[in-house]
């Protein structure tokens, strides 16, 4: 035991001395020339653990992916000397949008407080189709298409804009919906050009924080998955033919690779497993989508029978009123509420004009609005709450309030009124009326100024010795250095958080086996319950998830080919790699093959459990 500790100590001392003397190299790998419309990769590599990485601006290129951080390390013993190699890389995938020569600046990184920078470089974008390979440079560019990929045509994936009506009156509500239709898996939706609507007032009807709700729709015999990207209520603010611009969208579509399996000299076996269902190598392809422009004809409101005091409201509305009491005393408050409700642009409803008795003191109304957003558009109500204070006794009439609007359904101006009220006012206490002033809008806000300033309690002055000052005191120095201490604490916490995030890939790597076994345990519960559908879903997630976590890559980037490359790069034996791919295929085959389901499920489960243990042992 003591000898083992001694050897470990010598190893650590040798390793640390080597690391301290190791020179930091920070470089970039990028092609010199690419074709217009082509995808290519740029990778920044350092041979030391990076504390902070900052990429240069990539003017002229669209970033499709990145920065993707990866890390590898190795220890070797040569002639009794310990060598520890670390490689940290940040990779990007770009799309060459336009031709030209583009200068890319230096990327910078921080290692143990020292700053390092790569050399600036130039990428030339030349004309050519997007299927060409990189013309120069050490790295092969990632092409946007290849002969083995099935293209995503406009009938498989598209977006459209819809309006519920194309001929409206000025101020009338229009329902505008943008939808996506797809026959293939889609992810990473990103709006390149958000539609702005000149000449329209718009209100969003969807909750931006919610996931898109999907539903199926059959179009020309095909079942599309449909989701509402945007749903808005728009109100035309001017007349004439107004154009709703197109919306542009980017997304990533996952398509099946048509690459055939290696022939096995068995015609039945080859034709069966070359079926696209089992050949589940997916490729992620970016797709640009665009809606068509929509033209709406906006008619002016009719001049015939238009009220002189027209409110400007367009829609379907009603008005109601409420009074809290009809018998009060002078100098007491009474509240009258008027509520305008209906369907239309509630925000644009103007203030009501109500003629109250001259002997009443009237305060500005308290206005509250409630807007409801639903599948049929915008509706709600607007409340005008008046506080009235009678100054003289007697019987007073509160007249009805009126509200006019244009109804686009009936194509007529409509006039709505409320009930009128009669108030009995008795003489109140006159002793406080002379020194009484009211403020606020509610009865709770009304205060008696005569009682507001009461007896003021006097306190002795606080005496201070001559020559004593705040400047130079203990409190002065505490307040002086306190901000500096707080800033230092914030910097320390921030740096710890950055370091923690940079090691996120390492944490996922360490927990990959644990998470995979947890999923396998859940799959085993489905096995015992005889639930074959849920069992194969959970088992498949365990296998794919293990590779994704172990190598810190996204699930969308995984396929049979990429798994083979990652495992081969880590020196996993070819036999074990084949076992892994065969286990995945067995998982899919057992799901649909005839025979005893329980026997097939048990066999695939044992294969999945064993293959993860074998890979883990070879990676150590």
pLDDT of residue 323: 92
- Residue 271 CB partners (closer than 8 Å, separation 6+): none
What is the pTM assigned to this prediction?
0.46
Sequence-separated (6 or more) residues with CB below 8 Å from residue 179? 159, 160, 161, 162, 226, 227, 228, 229
CA distance 200 to 475: 59
What is the mean pLDDT of the segment spanning 378-406? 92
The strand pairing partners of 403, in sequence order, are 416
Residue-level pLDDT at 541: 81
Residue 435 pLDDT exceeds 50: no
Residue 59 confidence class, pLDDT cut points 50, 70, 90? confident
pLDDT over threshold 60, residue 246: yes
Instruction: Report the 3 state secondary structure along 81-137.
Output: EEEEEEEEEEEEEEEECCCEEEEECCCEEEECCEEEECCCEEEEEECCCCCCCCCEC
Please spell the DSSP secondary structure of 132-172, one letter per residue: ---SBSSSPP--S--TTBPP--TTTEEEEEEES-SEEETT-
* C-alpha separations of 283 from 139, 186, 413, 461, 556 in Å: 20, 12, 59, 82, 8
Q: What is the pLDDT of residue 95?
A: 83
Estimate to the nearest angstrom the gap between the alpha carbon of 354 and the chain centroid: 47
Residue with tokens 């057992």, as numbered in its chain: 590
What stretch of H or E contains 381? strand 377-390
CA distance 190 to 519: 32
pLDDT in tens, 170-180: 999 999 999 99
Structure tokens belonging to residue 260? 């055939």
By mean pLDDT, which of 27-31, 209-213, 370-374 is the weakest? Answer: 209-213
The answer to whether the beta carbons of residues 346 and 371 sit under 8 Å apart is yes
Q: What is the pLDDT of residue 198?
A: 84
Neighbours of 524 (CB within 10 A): 17
What's the mean pLDDT in 134-147?
A: 37
- Residue with the bigger pLDDT between 136 and 245: it is 245
Query: Mean pLDDT in the chain?
Result: 77
CB atoms within 10 A of CB 543: 21
The CA R_g of the chain, rounded to the nearest whole Å, is 37
Q: What is the pLDDT of residues 124-138, one digit of tens each?
A: 998 765 444 333 333
The DSSP bridge partners found for residue 92 are 42
């Amino acid at each position: 035991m003591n000898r083992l500790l001694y050897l470990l100590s010598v190893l650590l001392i040798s390793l640390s001395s080597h690391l301290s003397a190791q020179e930091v190299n920070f470089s970039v790998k990028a092609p010199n020339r690419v074709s217009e419309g082509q995808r290519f990769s740029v990778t920044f590599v350092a041979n030391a653990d990076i504390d902070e990485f900052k990429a240069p601006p990539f003017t002229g290129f669209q970033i499709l992916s990145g920065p993707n951080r990866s890390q590898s390390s190795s220890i070797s013993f040569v002639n009794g000397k310990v060598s520890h190699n670390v490689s940290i890389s940040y990779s990007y995938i770009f799309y060459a949008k336009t031709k030209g020569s583009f200068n890319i600046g230096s990327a910078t990184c921080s290692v143990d407080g020292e700053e390092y920078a790569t050399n600036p470089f130039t990428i030339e974008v030349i004309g050519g189709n997007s299927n060409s390979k990189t013309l120069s440079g050490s790295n092969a560019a990632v092409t946007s298409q290849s002969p083995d990929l099935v293209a995503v045509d406009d009938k498989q994936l598209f977006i459209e804009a819809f309006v519920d009506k194309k001929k409206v009156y000025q101020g009338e509500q229009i329902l505008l919906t943008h939808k996506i239709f797809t026959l293939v898996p889609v992810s990473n939706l990103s709006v390149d050009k958000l539609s702005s609507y000149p000449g329209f007032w718009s209100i969003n009807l969807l909750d931006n924080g919610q996931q898109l709700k999907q539903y199926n729709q059959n179009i020309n015999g095909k079942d599309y998955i449909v989701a509402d990207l945007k749903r808005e209520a728009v109100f035309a603010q001017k007349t004439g033919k107004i154009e709703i611009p197109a919306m542009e969208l980017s997304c990533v579509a996952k398509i099946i690779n048509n690459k055939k399996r290696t022939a096995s000299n068995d015609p039945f076996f080859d034709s069966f497993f070359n079926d696209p269902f089992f050949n589940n190598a997916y490729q992620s392809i970016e797709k640009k989508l665009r809606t068509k422009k929509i033209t709406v004809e906006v008619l002016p409101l009719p001049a015939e029978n238009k009220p002189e005091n027209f409110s400007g409201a367009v829609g379907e509305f009603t008005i109601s009123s409420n009074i809290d009491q009809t018998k009060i005393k002078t100098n007491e408050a009474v509240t009258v509420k008027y509520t305008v409700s209906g369907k239309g642009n509630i925000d644009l409803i103007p203030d009501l004009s109500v003629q109250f008795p001259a002997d009443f003191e009237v305060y500005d109304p308290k206005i509250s609005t409630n807007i409801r957003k639903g599948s049929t558009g915008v509706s709600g109500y607007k409340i005008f709450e008046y506080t009235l204070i009678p100054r003289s006794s007697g019987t007073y009439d509160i007249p009805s309030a009126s509200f006019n609007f244009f109804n686009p359904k009936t194509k007529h101006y409509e006039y709505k009124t409320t009930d009128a009220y009669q108030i009995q006012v008795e003489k109140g206490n006159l002793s406080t009326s002379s020194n009484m002033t009211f403020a606020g809008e509610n009865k709770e806000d009304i205060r008696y100024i005569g009682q507001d300033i009461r007896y003021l309690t006097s306190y002795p002055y606080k005496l201070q010795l001559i020559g004593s000052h705040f400047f130079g005191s203990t409190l002065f120095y505490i307040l002086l250095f306190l901000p500096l201490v707080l800033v230092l604490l914030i910097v320390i916490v921030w740096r710890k958080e950055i370091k923690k995030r940079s090691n996120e890939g390492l944490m996922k790597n360490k927990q990959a086996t644990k998470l995979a076994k947890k999923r396998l345990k859940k799959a085993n519960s489905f096995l015992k319950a005889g639930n074959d559908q849920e069992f194969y879903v959970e088992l498949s997630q365990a296998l794919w998830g293990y590779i994704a976590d172990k190598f810190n890559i996204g699930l969308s980037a995984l396929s049979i080919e990429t798994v083979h490359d990652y495992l081969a790069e880590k020196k996993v034996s070819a036999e074990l790699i084949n076992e892994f791919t065969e286990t995945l295929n067995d998982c899919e085959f057992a799901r649909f093959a005839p025979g005893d389901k329980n026997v097939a499920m048990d066999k695939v489960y044992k294969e999945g459990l064993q293959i993860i243990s074998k890979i883990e042992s070879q990676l150590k």
